[in-house]
Structure 1
Amino acid sequence: MTTTNSGDEAGDAAADREIVVSRTIGAPRELVFEAFTRVRHLSRWWGPEGFTTTTRSFEFRVGGVWDFVMHGPDGTDYQEWITYTEIVPSRRIALLHGESRDDPNTFESVLTFEPADEETRLVMRTVFPTRELRDEAAEKYHAVEGGEQTLRNLAVYVAELTGNGTASKGADD
């Protein structure tokens, strides 16, 4: 599991509750960012390997909601709810993510899109309400591997859009 600490007081407090996954993607950050902004993109790459996504509603704006179901390869359905709390085009998306609007175990995620020459460094930082919830997400739901697979799926999808066969490099590639 990758965890980091920003070095500030807030970062210190969250260090034992966070998971950080990152990947360098072989496309400009505007395109990588756009892949998060429309259902037609998200439905093609969102989720770990073998998962599909059905969207019930989607509104990409601050205060907007993405209500969807992730279908696991074993047939299990996972109810998901995202509320967008901050959007800085091509730079940053902050959101709350849970199973429903009132989920007491909702976690916060911040995605940052950093230019890296002709590529984009995407960092997905997730902070859970407690260390126990972080550990459960990592151990029971394989959140680190799932996050890495999701970003790999994004990289492959963006490579298809650009016609570029070399999509990206993960943190361990």
Structure 2
Amino acid sequence: MAGARQGARAEAVADREIVVSRVIDAPRDLVFEAFTEVRHLGRWWGPAGFTTTTRSFDFREGGVWDFVLHGPDGTDYQEWITWTEIVPPERIALVHGESRDDPNAFESLLTFTSEGAGAGTRIVMRTVFPSRELRDEAVEKYHAVEGGQQTLDNLAAYVAESVRQDREVRGSREKEGH
């Protein structure tokens, strides 16, 4: 019966959903951490060419991330996220809109799965919009699929650089210890 309910739910949201996925060459704990600390998020969040300014950040269930996404053309996008579920290092559920009262806010579920004996992580971002029209607008006007993929590309590059730097630091320490 649970399988039937899940199948019905998937059909019910299919026309309102965007799914973006990517394998990142880093351990799941590290990829998850990149989503949990503002010092990380501010360095990779958003599509190519965008930057982020955080006003407030409280990563906990019920907590809020209030920020501005700055587009490469100079346009500022007011953004607001509240975390609705956090299960380290497996998943994060959130509501994302322009503000707390945004009637067009959408829900996202991010899942983190270890791949390749834990050396890599598959991240899947499932976003469900309140209506098919809002999903279509996000896809056509805001290029949400490409933007989601670019955001995950930015994450992958950021995490790869973090892993490289960590390895260099550990290598230097090991050499000093010999």
Q: TM-score, normalised by structure 1?
A: 0.90
User: Per-residue displacement from partner, 1:122-163 (whole Å, max 9, x unpaired)?
Assistant: 000000000000000000000000000000000000000001
Is 1:104 the counterpart of 2:98? The answer is no
- Could you list the runs of 5+ residues in structure 2 that have no partner in the other structure? 166-178
User: Per-residue displacement from partner, 1:71-115 (whole Å, max 9, x unpaired)?
Assistant: 000000000000000000010000000000000001000000001
User: Per-residue displacement from partner, 1:45-65 (whole Å, max 9, x unpaired)?
Assistant: 000010000000000000000
Corresponding residue SS for 1:105: coil
Is 1:151 the counterpart of 2:152? The answer is yes
Q: How do residues 11-90 of structure 1 correspond to structure 2 at under 5 angstroms?
A: 11-90=10-89
Identity of aligned residues (%): 75
2:19 maps to a residue whose letter is V
- Distance in 2 (alpha carbons) for counterparts of 1:70 and 1:155: 19
- Distance in 1 (alpha carbons) for counterparts of 2:44 and 2:52: 9
- Distance in 1 (alpha carbons) for counterparts of 2:92 and 2:99: 19
Moved more, 51-60 or 155-164: 155-164
Q: What is residue 134 of structure 1 aligned with on the other side?
A: 135
CA apart distance, 1:8:
1.0
Number of aligned residue pairs:
159
1:80 maps to a residue whose letter is E
Q: What is residue 10 of structure 1 aligned with on the other side?
A: 9
- Could you list the runs of 5+ residues in structure 1 that have no partner in the other structure? 1-5, 165-173
Find runs of 4+ consecutive structure 1 residues off by over 2 angstroms: none
2:49 maps to a residue whose letter is G
CA apart distance, 1:70:
0.2
Corresponding residue SS for 1:80: strand
CA apart distance, 1:7:
6.0
What RMSD over aligned residues (CA atoms) do the two structures have, in Å?
1.2
Q: What is residue 125 of structure 1 aligned with on the other side?
A: 126
- Distance in 2 (alpha carbons) for counterparts of 1:40 and 1:151: 17
Corresponding residue SS for 1:47: coil
